Every structure is written in C-alpha cells, then in structure tokens.
Amino acid sequence: MPDTGTSSSADWLKRERLPIRRSLLQVVALGLAGGLLLIGQAGLLASLADAVILHSATLAGLWPLLWGLLAVFLLRAVLIWAAERTAFAAAARVKLDLRRRLFAQLQRLGPARLAGASSGELSSALLDNVEALEGYYARFLPQMALAALLPLTILVFVLPADWFSGLVLVLTAPLIPIFMALIGKGAETLNQRQWRRLAILSARLLDGIQGLTTLKLFNASRREAQVIARLSEDYRHSTMAVLRVAFLSSLTLEFFASVSIAVVAVFIGFRLLGALGWGPIDFRVGFFVLLLAPEFFQPLRNLATQYHARMEAIGAAERLVEILEQPFAESVASPRPVPPGERFHIAFERVSFAYEPGRAALEELSLEVQPGQRVALVGPSGAGKSTVVSLLLGFLVPDSGVIRINGEPLSEIDLAAWRSQLAWVPQRPRIFHGSLRENILLGRPDADEAALRRAARLARADEFIERLDQGYDTQVGERGQGLSGGQAQRIALARAFLRDAPLVLLDEATASLDAESEDLVQAGIDELARGRTLVVIAHRLSTVRDADQILVLDHGRLVEQGDHHTLLARQGLYAGLVHAYGVAA
C-alpha cells in the first residue's frame, strides 16, 4: 500500500477522535492521577522497608504506613476502573456513530453504485473493521499521552532523590521509541494487507454459504473448499508477518528497559555498599528509586503493547475511508416537496448516464410517461432499461439532462418523500428473515390487520398464507427460504398494494415463474395497475401487448414508441424482437 494511503487512514483516525476528545482527556487525567498515587505507593513501601529492615519498627508503629498503602491501593483501583470505563464508553460512541454513518453512506450510494461490491466484504467492513478501531481509541490514544507524561512525572521525583539514576533513565528512554519506530516502519503496510485479505476471505465465505446448493449440485464444493483453504492460508501468513513485527518490537523494548533497570539497580547496590567514589546512598531513597525504575518504563511498555492496536486500526480504516469517501450525488440544501397530484407525469429530457468513462448506458434519452399509463420498457440486453428505473428510483443521478416529475426536476425533490410515492416490485424480490407479516408490512409498518389482509388478497397471496399453520406469522428464512418463486413474488406484490403508491415500477415479475404462478402474479399486477401509473421492464414480449405505450430502447437511446400493433406495423426493432422470441403477433 502506498504511503499516501497509510497517511490518509492515519489522518482520518485522528479526525475521528475529535468528538471524544474531552473523554480522552479525562482518561489521561485519571491515568496521571493513578501515576501520582503509584509514586506515593513507592514512597510508602520504601519507608515501610526502611522501618522494618533498618530500624526494627514494631507492628504498632507500622500501622499508619499500612493504612496509607491500603488507601492508595483502593484509590488506584477506582481510578483504573474509571479510566477503563470512560475509555471504552468513548470508543463505543465512535463505533456507534461510525456504523450509522457507514450505513447511511451505503443507503445514499444505493444498490446501483454497490452492484459490484461483495455483500460479505461490506458486512465485514461494518462489523470487523469498525470493531478493530476500539483498541486505538480506548487504549492507544490515552496510552500515547501517558507514555510522555508519566515518565516525566516520575523523573520529577527521581532526579532530586538520585541524579545519577535519573540520568540513566533519561539517556535510555528515547532509544526505545526510536528503535520501535525503525522496526515497525513497514508494520502498517502489513496490517493493511492483512485486512484486505480478510475482506476477500469474508466475501468468499459468504458467497460459498449462500451458493451451497449450487456448489453441491455441480459437484464443486470440494474445489470451493480448496479455494477458501488457500485464502485462509494467505490470511494466516499475513497475520504471522504482523505478529513477527509486533514481537520484535516488544523484544527491543524489553531489552532496553531491562538493561536500563539493571544499570540503575547495580549502581544503587554499589552505592549502598559504599563501593563507589561519590558516596553512599540512603537505603530508603535507593529503594524508592529502584521501585520507580520499572514504573518509569511501564508506560512505554504499555504503549508498545497498544501500538499493534494502532497498526490494526490503520489497516482496518483503509476500507472504511474508501466507503465514506466514495462520491455520490449531493442532495440540494432545501429539497422541494413532491409535486402535488394523484398521478405523475414523468419526462426524461436529453438524459445521459455512464457507469464509467466510455461506458454510456443512456445517451441523450428523451421520453414521456403520461399519468395513469401502463408503460413497458423493452429492448435487447444492455439497452438501458434498468438504468432508466434506477434513475427514477433516485439510485443514480444523470450525468446530463433533466428528469422532471410533474414539471419539477427530480434532482431538486426530496428523495425520501419521492420514494414514499413509489412501489417497486423487482424480478427477484428480497424476502427478509422473519415472518410473512413483517415482510408485507415493510413499506407501511403502521398498517392495520384489515389493510394487511386486503393487500395479501389483492396480490393473490392470502390463499397460500392461510393454508400455513401459523398463517401470517409463519417464519421464512433469508432470501425467502421456504417460499416458492411465485409465493415470494406475491408477497412482494402485497407490499406494493399495501404501499398504495400512485407510481409502480416493476422489473417484470413473471419472467422466471411457472405457468400457474405466472397467471396468479399477472392477475395481481393487472389489479395493481388500475388507477396507477405503471412502468414495467419487459423481458418477455408476450406480457406487453396490453401496454398503453411501449418504449423501445437500444444502446441507451429511444428508437421506437407506440402500442403493440403500431410497432409491429413499422417492422422496426420491436417487430424484429417479437419475431426473434417467437411471440405471436
């Protein structure tokens, strides 16, 4: 990964800490207070050892020191608990806010922009990547401040007591972060590579689970297992590379810290014995300095332990930044309400759209849909039919041209309000894990039981629902497991009836159904079309005979329009498609 990516992720992580800055300062203040208590604890222990070893103090004379130690222990425990609680509460706020923003961003991007993304990789980003940031905000950031403040605080007490020991600590401490930085220079790149491989593995695992039936039928499950095993092995190698760097950093820190503490201990020991020229040292002072020497390096040890959390967070943030910074069409500052009227007049005025440079889906498309019309979009694959519907749904924004709803530009209309006026029935409807009742109520959760049953009846879904043991409370699996294709389509139609929207968009709902299910669903569509404007993507031309207007698209342009008989008489593209599919005239 280039350094620019690493820098971008690190800068983004720093910006994300701003809302919790006060909480982080509280954590640092609590840690610093705990450090002062630790210094007091070392002083009490030194006095206690001095009194017992050199002055033969009795238990009665030691009680004030013992009670003082107990109070310090309790206060330190309270401060540590408060610091941990505050830190993790702050990190939880960051994660909650970030997941909300990520989900909102995915909603803004819409299914058209996310069509090429793996659902497994996206779910891994929202769950695992966000979770990996906790250590950075809860532990690394507070510890980074404490690693600078606590050693300085300890030096304030050590230098007046024994300047030589303080000098040893001052000279050796900077070596630790210098060597750790040199060793860990490439660790961020390794972490980013690790997270990318985890995303690939997660996506492949989810695809394998969702496609298990297909894999078994084609006897490909063993081959897929081998692919997943290879990806898992790649991820293991990435993880081990990161851990090697982490262990090497820890080894460097422990080496320098141990050598420094040993030097302090040896010189204090010699001076206690009077073996050095500049004079002996008082036992209580020497023991006090010796107790504080390991504590001087403890914040640096803790920082080294949490440094891996920083590298992991930078690796995890790479994908989060990509999602959050993916461009989408900005909504206007003050969107207009949906134009009044029971029905809508829709006009495309020289609309062009390209998914990527050189891949135009629509080129200066102009068309009209009159209120109350039943309009069919037909054309060869790739003609732009789905793009027209995605633009109407607001999932895409034209590169040029204008879409007008009752004369008002769609780009200036409140999208949420506009979508509330739509009912969308795709070719493969999404049935969510839950009850049939919850799935039908998706677009209108406040509907009463009578409205629910009426919608199911109009969609011809009530007959199979009432045959089920639990009726509308029957649980279905993810993607409609437990329902046939026709039953799932009728549930989707029931949603549309319950929505009671003036504009209905369909990606031909009967394209992959058997004859009996097709008749039931088609009857439901005919019922749904009454009194509404209906725009349907037609895959089978036999279903468009009764359309008021047929719009024929080819390479993103409107090449023909009219009713079935008019277009047949022209002997153009539509007539060619009809003859090619063997549809009776």
Tens digits of residue pLDDT in 259-271: 888 888 888 887 7
pLDDT value at position 29?
A: 95
pLDDT of 6 above 50: no
pLDDT in tens, 498-539: 888 888 888 866 655 666 666 777 777 777 777 788 888 877
Q: What is the DSSP letter of 139?
A: I
- When comparing pLDDT for 28 and 190, which is higher? 28
Residues 265 and 153 in one domain: yes
What are the residues facing 314 on neighbouring strands?
A: none
Asked if 177 contacts 256 with a C-beta cutoff of 8 angstroms, the reply is no
d(C-alpha 413, C-alpha 417), whole Å: 8
| Number of domains composing the chain | 3
Question: Residue 337: inside a domain, yes or no?
Answer: no
In this structure, which long-range contacts are made by residues 203-212, counting pairs with CB atoms below 8 Å and at least 24 apart in sequence?
203/118, 203/119, 203/120, 203/121, 203/124, 204/120, 204/228, 204/231, 205/120, 206/118, 206/119, 206/120, 206/123, 207/118, 207/120, 210/479
Residues 289 and 264 in one domain: yes
Domain boundary among 500, 525, 541: 500
- DSSP letters spanning 77-106: HHHHHHHHHHHHHHHHHHHHHHHHHHHHHH
pLDDT of 446 above 60: yes
Residues 173 and 210 in one domain: yes
Coil, strand, or helix at residue 447? coil
d(C-alpha 275, C-alpha 261), whole Å: 19
Question: Residue 491: inside a domain, yes or no?
Answer: yes
Question: What is the overall mean pLDDT for the chain?
Answer: 81
pLDDT value at position 74?
A: 95
Reference 145, options 234, 83, 85; nearest CA is: 83
pLDDT of 97 above 70: yes
Domain boundary among 324, 356, 377: 324
d(C-alpha 109, C-alpha 324), whole Å: 10
Reference 533, options 404, 423, 403; nearest CA is: 423
pLDDT value at position 112?
A: 63
Residues 230 and 241 in one domain: yes
d(C-alpha 553, C-alpha 362), whole Å: 9
What are the residues facing 428 on neighbouring strands?
A: none
Q: What is the CATH number of the domain that holds 417?
A: 3.40.50.300
pLDDT of 351 above 80: yes
Residues 417 and 274 in one domain: no
Residues 178 and 281 in one domain: yes
Q: Which domain holds residue 476?
A: 429-500
The region of weakest confidence among 60-69, 206-215, 329-338 is 329-338
d(C-alpha 146, C-alpha 300), whole Å: 9
pLDDT value at position 84?
A: 93
Residues 199 and 98 in one domain: yes
pLDDT value at position 274?
A: 66
Asked if 106 contacts 113 with a C-beta cutoff of 8 angstroms, the reply is no
Mean pLDDT value across residues 292-303: 84
- Compute φ and ψ for 524, nearest 5 degrees: -65, -40
pLDDT of 583 above 70: no
pLDDT of 209 above 80: no
Tokens of 98: 């970030």
Cβ neighbours, 10 Å, residue 419:
16
- When comparing pLDDT for 572 and 70, which is higher? 70
Residues 153 and 289 in one domain: yes
d(C-alpha 553, C-alpha 377), whole Å: 7
Mean pLDDT value across residues 430-459: 85
Q: What is the CATH number of the domain that holds 204?
A: 1.20.1560.10
Cα dihedral 144→147→150→154 (10° resolution): -170
The region of weakest confidence among 184-198, 279-293, 418-432 is 184-198
pLDDT of 119 above 90: no
Using 50, 70 and 90 to split pLDDT, how confident is the model at 474? confident
pLDDT value at position 2?
A: 38
d(C-alpha 315, C-alpha 235), whole Å: 14
pLDDT value at position 1?
A: 36
Question: Residue 54: inside a domain, yes or no?
Answer: yes
d(C-alpha 471, C-alpha 469), whole Å: 6
pLDDT value at position 4?
A: 42
Residues 183 and 320 in one domain: yes
- H/E/C letters for each residue in 306-328? HHHHHHHHHHHHHHHHHHHCCCC
pLDDT of 118 above 60: yes
Reference 84, options 149, 23, 38; nearest CA is: 23
- When comparing pLDDT for 343 and 533, which is higher? 533
Domain boundary among 451, 478, 500: 500
Mean pLDDT value across residues 455-467: 84
Question: Residue 437: inside a domain, yes or no?
Answer: yes
Model-wide pTM > 0.85: no
The region of weakest confidence among 48-57, 320-329, 411-420 is 320-329
Residues 519 and 466 in one domain: no
Reference 267, options 257, 256, 276; nearest CA is: 276
d(C-alpha 308, C-alpha 454), whole Å: 59
Pick the most confident of 97-106, 182-191, 324-333. Answer: 97-106
Question: Residue 392: inside a domain, yes or no?
Answer: yes
Q: Which residue has the tokens 């401060």?
A: 79
Residues 404 and 368 in one domain: yes
Question: Residue 265: inside a domain, yes or no?
Answer: yes
pLDDT value at position 469?
A: 82
pLDDT in tens, 153-197: 998 998 888 888 888 888 877 776 666 666 556 566 666 677 677
Question: Residue 273: inside a domain, yes or no?
Answer: yes
Mean pLDDT value across residues 271-292: 76
Residues 387 and 437 in one domain: no
Question: Residue 335: inside a domain, yes or no?
Answer: no
Asked if 320 contacts 102 with a C-beta cutoff of 8 angstroms, the reply is yes
